[in-house]
Amino acid sequence: MKKKKLSRLDLLKMKKAGQKVIWITAYDFWTASFAEQAGMDMLLVGDSLGMCVYGYEGTVPVTMDQCLWHCEAVRRGASKTFVIGDMPFLSYQVSIEEAVRNAGRFYKEAGVDAIKLEGGLRVCPQIKAIADAGMLVMGHIGLTPQSSGQLGGFKAQGRTAETAKELIEDARAIEEAGAFALLVEAVPPEVCGLIRDRLNIPVYSIGAGWEADGQLMISSDVLGIFQAFTPKFVKKYENLGQKTVSAFEQYVQEARDGDFPKDEHAYKMVDGELSKLKELLD
């Protein structure tokens, strides 16, 4: 099991050494704790919690308070793992001042190690201001779920030379603005590789192939809990959704049939107290 929480410098060293950083989303104490036990390098408390925990159709309705509550739980569950808080829609777009204040809330109220926000050139002033205030900020380009309406849905990005070039320009601007790392979502592996090779900061992939400094996955996808749809890039390592239904079905059946609870699930009265009680009641 990993003993020491990674730092920004460790992440840079790992990029130079070609050592992949493997991370996953977590939204609650137990998932965070299991991920830490499994040796995960980093955890993202993604605003995907809107879809994976609250059942929204997208991430737009997610609030700062929701993100902070879940970050706090994850922090408690994984004290030795680098935790990244995801800034929700409209927590950083309205003004630079609000972006810095909200980024600071993740640090002060939830004890995160870094924050992430979505977008390219248009959020570089926010990235610079947050970094200048002393925080670690990660960029996120490609498929950016908060602006999926503008992108025409949850679709792969950078599949033409022109759009791939724009992503490379965005990536460069994000590094220059002071981001400590960049996440690239749902683009072809070659495009992610071109970005990684041009940047000094680590470039991580979710659905952007293997030419990256590390991989992120959504825990609800990996565990087979999220049922609404399955993106092309997802590999389900378990089917906990089905296993949960099956466990609940067994409980319903046994409890209906009187097979649960049994003796071993019942508290015992102190010796002799039952007959005393009966006398009291007579």
Q: At residue 23, what are phi and psi to the nearest 5 degrees?
A: -140, 170
Q: At residue 140, what are phi and psi to the nearest 5 degrees?
A: -150, 115
Compare residues 47 and 72 and give the one whose CB is closer to ligand KIV. 47
**Minimum distance from CB of 39 to ligand KIV (Å)?**
20
Q: Whose CB is nearest to ligand KIV?
A: 46
Compare residues 74 and 183 and give the one whose CB is closer to ligand KIV. 183
Reply yes or no on whether 97 is catalytic: no
Which secondary structure element, helix H or strand E, spans residue 142, and what is its range? Answer: strand 137-142
**Minimum distance from CB of 38 to ligand KIV (Å)?**
18
Closest CA to 138 of 68, 62, 201: 201
**Minimum distance from CB of 278 to ligand KIV (Å)?**
59
The amino acid at 266: A
Compare residues 33 and 147 and give the one whose CB is closer to ligand KIV. 147
Give the integer Cα–Cα distance in Å for 255 and 85: 41
Closest CA to 206 of 23, 16, 12: 23
Binding site for ligand KIV (CB under 6 A): 25, 44, 46-48, 86, 140, 145, 183, 185, 206, 216, 218
Compare residues 52 and 194 and give the one whose CB is closer to ligand KIV. 52
Catalytic one among 162, 185, 238, 264?
185
Give the integer Cα–Cα distance in Å for 191 and 278: 78
Catalytic residue set: 185
